[in-house]
Amino acid sequence: MKNKILLIILFALPFAAISQNCQEFLNIQKSGIRYPWKYDVQSKCGLFIGGKSSQINVVCNEGKDYKISFLASSAILKFASIKVTDENGKEYFTLGVDNNKKKDLESKRQFMLSLENQKIKIKTGKKRIQIDADINNLKLEIEKSQQEIDQASYSPKTFFAFTPAETMNLIISISVNETCTSKGCIGALISNKKGEKSGF
């Protein structure tokens, strides 16, 4: 019986230590908040592994300015994807490469290859001119999509600030790609301050 209890303690101890490290991860970061900003108790931090996803609901009150900073352990940062939306699905912020954007880019590349194959068969005429125009437009779209993916991968913006026009709920969706073999902490550090009035 004693061996079983010892085994359970030894098994649970690393997970408890990691959980405490994630909370400590957030506590260290919140020490950087400076006046007039205040720490918001809706801030959260948790342990993530490959394939894990989670959501945080945040109530943002009218008359306050909000800043939400995202923190991630370096071991899982490039695998993390964070999206902030309202209840209607309007997107306010994204961090990381969205898999849908990667799929969209790949489908555009495949479509361009099919257009180029068609172009080889058509030597002249209006259809050839139209295919050339379609290929040029598609090249611009592919270049723009690739730049967005590169920006999200290599120099992501890790915070955003806003002032809600009225009290609203934000949904922070966090996921880690299943190809990630590491584990680490991801946190949403939320701070707020009284909104500045404009006008008289």
pLDDT digits (tens, 9 = 90+) for 106-164: 888 888 888 888 888 887 788 888 888 888 898 898 888 888 777 766 666 788 888 99
CA-nearest of 85, 109, 70, 75 to 180 is 75
Within the chain, what is the greatest distance between any pair of CA atoms?
86
In this prediction, residue 188 carries a pLDDT of 93
In this prediction, residue 183 carries a pLDDT of 92
* Cβ within 8 Å of residue 102, ≥6 positions away: 149
Q: 48: which DSSP letter? A: E
In this prediction, residue 44 carries a pLDDT of 93
Number of Cβ within a 10 Å radius of residue 71: 20
CA dist., res. 193 & res. 66, Å (int): 7
In this prediction, residue 14 carries a pLDDT of 37
What are 82-94's pLDDT values in tens digits? 999 999 989 888 8
- Phi, psi (deg, nearest 5) at residue 94: -140, 145
Which residue ranges form the domains of the chain, and what is each CATH number? Answer: 2-194 (2.60.120.380)
In this prediction, residue 167 carries a pLDDT of 92
In this prediction, residue 132 carries a pLDDT of 85
For residue 163, give both structure tokens.
Answer: 């002032």
Burial 90-105 (b: 16+ CB within 10 A, else e): eeebbbbbbeeeeeeb
Please classify residue 188 by burial: count the beta carbons closer than 10 Å to its beta carbon, then call 0-12 exposed, 13-18 middle and 19+ buried: buried
pTM of the model: 0.64
CA-nearest of 159, 160, 166, 158 to 60 is 166
In this prediction, residue 153 carries a pLDDT of 64
What are 167-178's pLDDT values in tens digits? 999 999 999 988
In this prediction, residue 97 carries a pLDDT of 61
In this prediction, residue 81 carries a pLDDT of 87
CA-nearest of 158, 163, 169, 189 to 62 is 163
CA dist., res. 30 & res. 28, Å (int): 6
What are 13-70's pLDDT values in tens digits? 333 334 447 888 788 888 888 889 999 999 999 999 999 999 999 999 999 999 999 9
CA-nearest of 116, 27, 114, 30 to 68 is 30
Per-residue pLDDT band at 2 (split at 50, 70, 90): very low
